[in-house]
Structure 1
Amino acid sequence: MVSLPHGFPDGAWLPDVVVELGEVFAAAGFELSLVGGPVRDLFLGRTSPDLDFTTDATPDQIIQAAAGWADAHWDIGRAFGTIGLRKGKQTLEVTTYRAEAYDPASRKPEVRFGESLEEDLVRRDFTVNAMALKLPSFELVDPHGGVRDLVAKQLRTPATPQESFSDDPLRMMRAARFASQLGLDVAPEVAQAMSEMASRIEIVSAERIQVELVKLICGDHPRAGIDLMVDTGLADIVLPEVPALKRLDDEHARHKDVYQHSLKVLEQACDLETDDDGPVPAPDFILRFAALMHDVGKPKTRRFEPGGAVSFRHHDVVGAKMTRKRMQALKFDKETIRAVTHLVELHMRFYGYGEQEWTDSAVRRYVTDAGDQLQRLHRLTRSDVTTRNKRKAARLDHAYDDLENRIAELAEKEELAKIRPHLDGEQIMQVLGISPGPLVGRAYKFLLEHRMEHGPVAEEEAVVLLKDWAAEQGL
């Protein structure tokens, strides 16, 4: 580790490889600077996971300069001027100074190499990321007031916001992401440009948008990021189901503000995440996104009942379908889509537990239906209580405590997470003397239903049950 000189926050340090690489490039006659996020994080007291550098060397010259020092290199980003290096366990990326411009109608950047560090910095997304640390001298280059903006907790652009967002519309999503990750407020002119140019996000690929959305949801202040997307109109394009909740107004106050409720559920879900050793380590995208999306089915299912009541029947099922469609459009993987939509579909299952005694069968079904999402479902259900009525909140909390205790007690007796029928398919075929086919599935379903209703039984009793069922079927 290398400690930084006076002028940097106390305790700020960098890995040895940073200084070593600076000396390697200086010896080869090239400039080299640590740039962007790693420099910003020095002033935030954070350790950056990335080490990004910029230089006046061309990609070929980068490879030549690092030869003999780096353990390996790769040039998959050569077209963009980026060469990857590995030194020990450290991965580094070195990019030639760039002066980047985008075709307004294209998703891909038109890359032009620049000639100076200052030219490179002005094309970066925000002032807090437009700082560089010259190596090996540790001279800070901050031409756009990045340190000042960090202190003021403000997000501004080096060039005009219009120029910045025209160059890369994804930067509007990054603004929302930094509001979530770093707790920064966007400057008024940045928010205005986002509102005016929100439609530009349509030319950005779904995959790139997804990456930024995940980082936003997993930030320390996801509510701030979502609010910014909704207020500027960005969410109308990227995540339209969420601003639709805000438009679900009720001038007669017959139901709660669903948008604010959803953000509160999101915040409360974050608070219920665990440490790395727990069942839901923070930050957990699946839990958080399910919390945000759990009520998106309400606008389509709202009904005004006789007498003035409002209902949202089956909003859980409708919301799960809407969530699946949105996540597919954003190119999420199938497993993440399955997990999130499963939670949205099940988030209402608990309600009613406090009003009526659940049988052991009902508890088994709750666990079995939740499957591998049970721990997240516990947290989502608890987070969904945002009522200001303290007695109602306490009653629901007590009821869920009771349900979790019932689950634990049954789990000790029956291994609930591994519920299977009394007999497997091979045993069913042997007992009934049948071959593989639909009848085996029907028998399997009967035995599983019996297990759900009555709990486990001995194999001998299961055989009798199966034969009796077969006789009733006329087999």
Structure 2
Amino acid sequence: MSTLVAKQNVVVELLRISPLVDDLAERFSAAGHALYLVGGSVRDAVLGQPGGDLDFTTDARPARVLELLDGWAEAVWDTGIAFGTVGAVRHGVQVEITTFRADSYDRVSRNPEVRFGDSLTDDLKRRDFTANAMAIDMSTKKLVDPFDGMAAVRERILDTPSTPEESFADDPLRMLRAARFVAQLGFRPAPRVVRAMTEMAGELARITPERVQAELTKLITGSRPRLGIELLVRTGLAEQVLPEVPGMSLAIDEHHQHKDVYEHSLTVLDQAIDLEKRDDPDAAPDLVLRLAALLHDIGKPATRRFEDGGGVSFHHHEVVGAKMARKRLRALRYSKDVIEDVAQLVFLHLRFHGYGKGEWTDSAVRRYVTDAGHLLSRLHKLVRADCTTRNKRKAAALRRSYDDLEERIARIQAEEDLARVRPDLDGNEIMRLLGIQPGPMVGKAWQYLKELRLERGPIPHDEAVAELLNWAREQGVTPPE
């Protein structure tokens, strides 16, 4: 990106937001205060990627900011006022205005001792990266760039206004944020940033799991998460966040087609994202699919066995991997739904390899669909992404087999409505036919009929009744006459 293009992008962004904030800037100026557009808002403007929300900074103290917003904003909130931030909304656009900061950190936690400042340069210096340390004076529309952030954005370089050691000691989460910007924006970290991240990786232990998870989620859902993950592994930060990922570099995969399982998993992640975009270019990034792609083989190191003849096996690594994924994601405070969905995908990702050239019975196909449930479309993508062999003939054969399986699924779904597989008799009818009250036996009977349904497909009502009565007698239950 040339300097001219970058400046043109800023002008275009200013023209877009001027009608919204010009009168606000005039309010601040008339009261003797400055108002600057800062941070990611300016960075994104330089990149030509304007966002919806706007961040400002000012020399006005928070109480004065509240006064100046009165009559301009449609709504105001002060939940961040202790940190100098006041939020507001006008015409559907959210703004946050923060008083200049001159904080100091105890470097034990990541909580600053909040102090308000009087210098824009000092405020910008305390920010995480030079790309985020630019400001635009809303009165003059001039760029303020004391740390050469424009060049950093233009060259896609990630560096810090102060030394990286000072910046990361103040807030270790910035190291994880560096990897996130690499994944989201395609920036390259400066060598001194990489050195500091490597030397200070252990400092990330000061950060709460919830904050780590938030940054990791943004990284995984970035446009190129592989780059961010590789940086985490290279610097040792992954050992603090997802130690199972660098751990996969110990295991050579059974096909010897990749340097190690770690590289294979990154390739699967890339291919899963390609499939995600192919199906819907405008869809939001799929966190569950991406986590499953990255973690699908984390059980391999624990299950690696060297076989006679020089082979390597990883029997039941999907079972072990599902447990490991569940444990790690729980430690990172992911939601229960995300944890269970990712673990189930890891557990199921090998199931297809028993399909061969179509040897599965319709019963096996029904079970595959039923076990996948709402994850079926994601499982399709994960299984296809997991094919990373360089053997074109083998890859084509696997694609044809999975095409065949999907066609069979579609056919059986059309015939039997697999999305709602239920026993042919419901609980009330089971109790009536067997003459029993609600209890464990009803559940067992229901499960038996569901297994029968999966095995044989829909069966006539009279036949289902006969099967239930025969099963009940075998269980020692005498149905009423």
* Greater mean alpha carbon deviation, residues 281-290 or residues 292-301: 281-290
Measure how far apart 1:28 and its partner are: 2.1
- SS of 1:14's equivalent in the other structure is helix
2:467 maps to which residue?
A: 465
Match of 2:130 among 123, 127, 145: 127
- After superposition, the C-alpha distances for 1:426-454 in whole angstroms (9 at most, x for unaligned) are 11001111111111111111100110010
Which amino acid is the alignment partner of residue 159 of structure 2? R
Which amino acid is the alignment partner of residue 286 of structure 1? V
Give the distance between the partners of 2:6 and 2:396, measured in 1 at CA. Answer: 53
Which amino acid is the alignment partner of residue 179 of structure 1? V
Q: Is 2:187 the partner of 1:154?
A: no
- After superposition, the C-alpha distances for 1:120-172 in whole angstroms (9 at most, x for unaligned) are 00000001000111113211011111111112111110100001101110000
* RMSD of Structure 2 on Structure 1 (CA): 2.1
- After superposition, the C-alpha distances for 1:346-369 in whole angstroms (9 at most, x for unaligned) are 111111212451111000000000
Which amino acid is the alignment partner of residue 409 of structure 2? I
- SS of 1:94's equivalent in the other structure is strand
Match of 2:437 among 435, 438, 458: 435
1:28-43 aligned within 5 A: 28-43=31-46
1:69 maps to which residue?
A: 72
Give the distance between the partners of 2:275 and 2:258, measured in 1 at CA. Answer: 26
- TM-score normalised per structure 2: 0.94
Match of 2:116 among 104, 113, 118: 113
Q: CA 1:381/1:277 → structure 2, altered by over 3 Å: closer, same or farther? A: closer
Unaligned runs of at least 5 residues, structure 2: none
Measure how far apart 1:49 and its partner are: 3.6
* Greater mean alpha carbon deviation, residues 85-94 or residues 379-388: 85-94
Q: Is 2:413 the partner of 1:408?
A: no
Structure (1 or 2) with the greater helix fraction: 2
Give the distance between the partners of 2:187 and 2:114, measured in 1 at CA. Answer: 29
1:74-223 aligned within 5 A: 74-223=77-226
Give the distance between the partners of 1:382 and 1:356, measured in 2 at CA. Answer: 16
Measure how far apart 1:52 and its partner are: 0.7
Measure how far apart 1:396 and its partner are: 0.5
Is this contact kept in 2: 1:194–1:234, CA < 8 A? yes
Is this contact kept in 1: 2:134–2:146, CA < 8 A? yes
- After superposition, the C-alpha distances for 1:79-115 in whole angstroms (9 at most, x for unaligned) are 1100111213111110000012221111322211111
2:337 maps to which residue?
A: 335
Give the distance between the partners of 1:346 and 1:464, measured in 2 at CA. Answer: 34
Give the distance between the partners of 2:191 and 2:318, measured in 1 at CA. Answer: 38
Which amino acid is the alignment partner of residue 127 of structure 1? T
Is this contact kept in 1: 2:53–2:93, CA < 8 A? no
- After superposition, the C-alpha distances for 1:238-273 in whole angstroms (9 at most, x for unaligned) are 1100011123359x9697510110000000000011
Q: CA 1:212/1:5 → structure 2, altered by over 3 Å: closer, same or farther? A: closer
Is this contact kept in 2: 1:58–1:81, CA < 8 A? yes
| Number of residue-to-residue matches in the alignment | 471
Q: Is 2:253 the partner of 1:247?
A: no
Give the distance between the partners of 2:232 and 2:293, measured in 1 at CA. Answer: 17
Match of 2:380 among 362, 378, 397: 378
Give the distance between the partners of 1:341 and 1:431, measured in 2 at CA. Answer: 39
- SS of 2:8's equivalent in the other structure is coil
Measure how far apart 1:411 and its partner are: 0.6
- SS of 2:438's equivalent in the other structure is coil
Measure how far apart 1:274 and its partner are: 4.2
Measure how far apart 1:461 and its partner are: 2.0
- After superposition, the C-alpha distances for 1:269-297 in whole angstroms (9 at most, x for unaligned) are 0001147968x934111101110000011
Unaligned runs of at least 5 residues, structure 1: none
* Greater mean alpha carbon deviation, residues 354-363 or residues 445-454: 354-363
What is the percent sequence identity of the aligned residues?
A: 57
Measure how far apart 1:32 and its partner are: 0.5
* Greater mean alpha carbon deviation, residues 438-447 or residues 349-358: 349-358
Q: Is 2:11 the partner of 1:8?
A: no
- After superposition, the C-alpha distances for 1:200-251 in whole angstroms (9 at most, x for unaligned) are 100011111111100101111111000000000000111100011123359x
- After superposition, the C-alpha distances for 1:383-426 in whole angstroms (9 at most, x for unaligned) are 00000001110010000000000000011011111101111111
2:397 maps to which residue?
A: 395
Is this contact kept in 1: 2:257–2:389, CA < 8 A? no
- TM-score normalised per structure 1: 0.95
- SS of 2:353's equivalent in the other structure is coil
